[in-house]
Structure 1
Amino acid sequence: SRSQGSSRNMPLDSWPSQGSDFAQKNERQKWEASLSSQLQSGTNLQTCSVNDSGSDKDGDADDSKTETSLDTRWSPMSKQSSSYSDTDTTEEDSESSDDMDFLTRQKKLQAEAKMALAVAKPMAKMQVEVEKQNGKKSPVADLLPHVPHVSECLMKRSLKPTDLRDMTTGQLQVIVNGLHSQIESLNEELVQLLLIRDELHTEQDATLADIEVLTRHQKRMAEKTPAK
């Protein structure tokens, strides 16, 4: 009862000190809880940063794997493209070799044509001279030496009836036989010349066909070549 009385008689100024102690204790507990919370959040942040760095490393590794897989995937395409480039190079080489063959053939044909034209004129003159030499003497002149004017007229194909008036039947028969033999000889020569003409026509047609092919090829090459 005395203690109760003493508590009842306790002065009022002693209560605030006790209240302040409680408040300080309360504040301390709050501060410790806040500090613990901050430490916990810091630990969580560190863990998150570690996890993020790990995820970044994993992401880099995945990226490198992806790049490697892409490289591996595209490597056949690169090989295929390189094979295509090799094929294009081979085609270009074949085209260039074809062009070289075309130019070589063109030069060869031009040289042959020039040579043929250069030789044709003197050969024709020589052939005419040979024919003149062979035609100067008629076979009738050997058979009728005493009538040279008849042989000359036969060569000139200007024989007149007055030239035959004083000739005998035997002499006239000789002239007829000579003319027949000359006709046969000329016919044989004509056949040979016709055969030569056919051969020349065939060669001419072949040459014209080659020229046409070369002209078309040259036009195609000119169209492909860009104008400078």
Structure 2
Amino acid sequence: MKWQEYQEAVAVFYEQLDGFGTVHRNVYLPDLVTGQRRQVDVMIEMTERGHSLRMLIDAKFHSTPLDVKDIEEVAALSQAVGAHKTIIVAANGFTSPAETKARFIQCDLKTLSIEEALDLIVPDKWKMCPVCNADCIVLDQEGMTSLDNGLIFWWLAGQCRGCKCARVHCQDCGQKMYIEIGESLVCGCGHEWHATDEGIAIEFFKEEPQW
């Protein structure tokens, strides 16, 4: 998953909350002191009884929990653009000191895991790749063919968007396999499956079926 996708997932998450105002993505607001443009991942604008409220949401796609310095940096940005509320969303949570700091400055924290983020923006996702644990497998390679014996053979498969590890569901024998890029496996039907950069390739009846 890329950080841009994570930022998009955070915006989608708040868009799905009823009555949570208008969500703006990747906006630029003037610094109240310098006038320079400052980038904000997500801004939510709410109007209540004639009063306008700005909520700044910062998406942090870090591989480790956020620490106090991260909280302070986002809080400074929020103050610079005149936001009334600050929310930080992180992929891998927060350290205990960071949580203490956030409570003191009244900054809300939320953990949105990569798995949860992918659920929001990749509708045909199957699951997190067990090889790289950084992206998802998308089951988008469905095929069907007629064999020489007159039978119809079809399968469902896909590859990790990151490392290209393949997930194969052979519908004839029912076997489900993971195949790392450049490797191959034979299913119970005797078909050999290959994971390549171009996609998943099949060689039919390479071995005797295991029936």
- TM bin, normalised by shorter chain, reads under 0.3
Bigger Rg, structure 1 or 2: 1
TM-score of the superposed pair, with normalisation by structure 2? 0.23
TM-score of the superposed pair, with normalisation by structure 1? 0.22
From the two aligned structures, give the one with the greater helix fraction. 1
From the two aligned structures, give the one with the greater strand fraction. 2
